[in-house]
Amino acid sequence: MTELLAVEGLSAGWGAARVLSGISFRLAEGQSLALLGRNGMGKTTLLCALLGVAATEIGRIHFAGQDITSLAPERRAWAGLGWVPQERNIFRSLTVEENLTAVARPGPWSPERVWAHFPRLKERRRNMGNQLSGGEQQMLAIARALVLNPKLLLLDEPTEGLAPIIVEELLAVLRRLVREEGMASIIVEQHAQKVLDVADRAVILERGMVVHDGPAGDLARDGATLERYLAVGSSQ
């Protein structure tokens, strides 16, 4: 498989505070990576380092055949990094449809194609962003990232604070995006077992360092590692 992302010896953080130390991992085109770890272990900082928001001290980031280590955040976005933050950051004063058409770029992911994966949004396409439920706002945040036609989608806690039925609906959409559409993604998620069912690979961070990197299916069956680093058992 063609390599899409290579992170090599990355140390990064905020100001004088180093959060990540010696991070290395790789991701192929069309693969999904579950980025796991307990709170405060550096997961969001790693996504921000990929996006160019957190400061890189040491190491390199290669994306889609290009060294993006020194690129500004906006140039990384144009290179194909898509971002779905915890805060969602939808345009609350625009309709659902306007949220998509306002940012859409040419490519295979059009608003019409997005409706097929998010029929709930299609039903509410005339609703304002502030009229949506939390789950619908999260769907809109993902949909808006898709119409930017990224090569790699970064999702930070996409199911946080959502009702269980909405969590299952969102994970089903992510599974289709990965398995059927071949959308490469890195997903930060607290529901380890559920996201491992979506992902191809899994990386666990502990105190800003990689302590596990391997196939997601293997980790899902490794109760000892799940318990040690995530305080969950393989049956959860």
Own/partner long-range contacts of 15-22 (Cβ < 8 Å, ≥24 apart) = 15/55, 18/57, 18/208, 19/45, 19/54, 19/208, 20/45, 20/46, 20/49, 20/54, 20/208, 20/209, 21/208, 21/209, 22/59, 22/209, 22/210
Q: b vs e for 194-212, b when ≥16 Cβ sit within 10 Å of the residue's Cβ? A: bbbebbbbbbbbbebbbeb
| pLDDT < 70 positions in the chain | 233-236
Amino acid 194: pLDDT: 85
Distance CA 73, CA 54 (A): 10
Name 214's Cβ contacts closer than 8 Å, sequence gap at least 6: 201, 202
Q: What is the pLDDT of residues 199-234, one digit of tens each?
A: 999 999 999 999 999 999 999 999 999 999 998 754
Q: Using DSSP bridges, classify how beta strands 201-206 and 32-36 pair: parallel, antiparallel or unpaired.
A: parallel
Q: Do the Cβ atoms of 219 and 236 come closer than 8 Å?
A: no
Q: Using DSSP bridges, classify how beta strands 66-67 and 55-63 pair: parallel, antiparallel or unpaired.
A: antiparallel
Q: How many beta carbons lie within 10 A of that of residue 143, not counting itself?
A: 24
- Spatial CA neighbour of 29 closest among 226, 178, 232, 236: 178
Amino acid 1: pLDDT: 80
Amino acid 233: pLDDT: 56
Q: Using DSSP bridges, classify how beta strands 3-14 and 201-206 pair: parallel, antiparallel or unpaired.
A: unpaired
Q: Is 73 helix (H, G, I), strand (E, B) or coil?
A: helix
Amino acid 190: pLDDT: 79
Amino acid 82: pLDDT: 96
Distances (CA, A) of 109 to 54, 73, 130, 236: 28, 22, 24, 35
- Spatial CA neighbour of 195 closest among 219, 213, 212: 219
- Residue by residue, DSSP assigns 148-170 as T--SEEEEESTTTT--HHHHHHH
